[in-house]
Amino acid sequence: MNNKKDRKNLLICDDNLKALDDLKKQDIKVDLIYLDPPFFSNRHYEVVWGDEAEVRSFKDRWAGGIHVYIEWMRERIVKMYDVLKDTSSFYLHCDWHASHYLKVMLDEVFGHRNFKNDIIWCYTAPTNTRKNFPKKHDNILKYTKSDKWIFNYKDISIPYSEETIARTHRGAGDTGLYLDKDPETKHKQRLKPKGKIPEDWWIIPRLQGNARERLGFPTQKPEALLERIIKTSSNKNSLVLDPFCGCGTAMAVAHKLNRKWIGIDISPTAISLIEKRLEELGAIKGKDYDSIGMPTTISALKKLEPFEFQNWVINEMQAKQSKRLVANGGLDGHVEKSLYSESAGIQVKQSEKVGRNVVDNFETALQRKDYKKGYVVGFSFTKGAHEEVARVKEKSGLYIKLIKAEDILKRKPGILK
């Protein structure tokens, strides 16, 4: 696993506490860690993924206050520190809610002398505030593990401003550009041909709603931001780790830049999205990367958060989410005629012994949307549920199929037809 050329890229669906322990046991060391963890912002995300019909939910709540959040982060960052090489860099993406608390904690873990930058990512966006300056930046705290680290400044140089260039002149007998430091003594500083190293404030636009790379993930970051970080602090075949990999921007950029990578996320929904994103880049599962930890048992499915279970079912059925996760009129999703014999509604129940009343209510939901067919997914169904399916078909001609999650898990042929 430590041979860089033979090492496969890896997606891990698990709590990063456990996943990081597993990496340490395998003696895996990484060159760069970038993490964009849930911010301490007390928001609940219910957002559109991909198009208006695909909705996912993400929690970003921290009961107990900032100190609970910081200790939650500390426990994970200590484990990240253990898998860093001595020449590695660490970038923590955060915002104004907790950046100052996080820096104190990181100083304790890494040592304050290994703090290198508080990078300010600046952007613009609409605002309604009339009483304060709009908060339009994130913080990226950079640390190293020692006094030696990778810094490829030539790979991320940016052009000089027109003002700077205007104040330059060519040195006698030399083709290089120079900037006067002291007009009296004529001491001069050479301007680098490829440009200058970016300052610690980066003006990189946020993703707009119509951006090609946008996936609808609530906290998705632009590839340009990750490209600068990965180019700066890693080399070809270096190993990049994102322990909160979300929609996989770090993985996608690392893959494009010929870096090795490991992505960890506790959400099966996120891992499924990353797999699709990698497929679009031409990465082949099993060849270019391995994916481990996705639910493969009924007990694992029962442990998922309700919306995660719903997302898993919808993804496995190659269906579309309803536009709303709650108050959705009794329909959690739908399948399209292009993939099935006809369009149909879906209702998902993360429970055993789904009963007659569920089928009865689902009948009403299907009629409201003018569907002639529907699927109810659960762990098991009562005799009454099966009887109600027969009654509905005889009474109104609606075809409702009861599907066990176990059959989806086993990819039983014909269950979705």
Residue keyed to tokens 């104190």: 104
Q: What average pLDDT does the chain have? A: 87
Q: Does domain 299-409 have CATH number 1.10.287?
A: no
Tokens (6 digits) for 408: 């989806």
CA 28 to the chain's CA centroid = 22
Pick from 24-28, 40-44, 187-191: least confident = 187-191
pLDDT for 291 beyond 60: yes
Mean pLDDT of 194-221: 88
pLDDT of 209 reads 77
pLDDT band at 173 (very low <50, low <70, confident <90, very high): very low
Mean pLDDT of 200-204: 96
Spatial contact of 259 and 233, defined as CB atoms under 8 Å apart: no
Quote the CA–CA distance of 345 and 337 in Å, as a whole number: 11
Pick from 35-49, 73-87, 239-253, 294-308: least confident = 35-49
pLDDT of 47 reads 56
Mean pLDDT of 90-115: 96
Task: Give residue-wise pLDDT tens across range 60-69.
Answer: 666 778 999 9
pLDDT of 262 reads 98
pLDDT of 212 reads 87
| Nearest by Cα to 12 from 21, 259, 4 | 21
Distances (CA, A) of 407 to 316, 321, 387: 11, 20, 20
Higher pLDDT, 59 or 192: 192
Extents of the domains making up the chain: 9-158+197-292, 160-196, 299-409
Mean pLDDT of 143-172: 83
pLDDT of 3 reads 47
pLDDT band at 218 (very low <50, low <70, confident <90, very high): confident
Helix (H) or strand (E) segment spanning residue 358: helix 356-368
CA 245 to the chain's CA centroid = 4
Phi (first) and psi of residue 33, to 5 degrees: -120, 125
pLDDT for 390 beyond 90: yes
pLDDT of 174 reads 44
Mean pLDDT of 120-136: 90
Q: Identify residue 156 by its one-letter amino acid code.
A: I
Mean pLDDT of 196-216: 89
Mean pLDDT of 97-125: 96
Mean pLDDT of 308-336: 82
Mean pLDDT of 239-257: 97
pLDDT of 53 reads 41
| CATH of the domain spanning 9-158+197-292, picked from 3.40.50.150, 3.40.50.720, 3.40.50.10800, 3.30.70.270 | 3.40.50.150
Mean pLDDT of 2-14: 77
pLDDT band at 326 (very low <50, low <70, confident <90, very high): low
Mean pLDDT of 89-102: 95
Phi (first) and psi of residue 293, to 5 degrees: 95, -5
pLDDT of 30 reads 98
pLDDT band at 393 (very low <50, low <70, confident <90, very high): very high
Task: Give residue-wise pLDDT tens across range 348-371.
Answer: 999 999 999 999 999 999 999 999
Q: Which long-range contacts (CB under 8 A, 24 or more apart) does 181-186 make?
A: none
Pick from 115-119, 266-270, 412-416: least confident = 412-416
pLDDT for 177 beyond 70: no
pLDDT of 189 reads 58
pLDDT band at 414 (very low <50, low <70, confident <90, very high): low
Listed in order, strand segments (DSSP E) in 110-193 are 115-122, 137-144, 168-170, 177-182, 187-190
Tell me the whole-structure pTM to 2 decimals.
0.85
Q: What's 35-79 look like in SS3?
A: ECCCCCCCEEEEEECCCCCCEEEEEECCCCCHHHHHHHHHHHHHH
Mean pLDDT of 181-207: 75
Is 97 strand, coil or helix?
A: coil
pLDDT for 74 beyond 90: yes
pLDDT of 65 reads 87
| Nearest by Cα to 59 from 47, 67, 70 | 47
Q: 259 — alpha (psi -120 to 50), left (phi > 0) or beta?
A: beta
Higher pLDDT, 163 or 13: 13
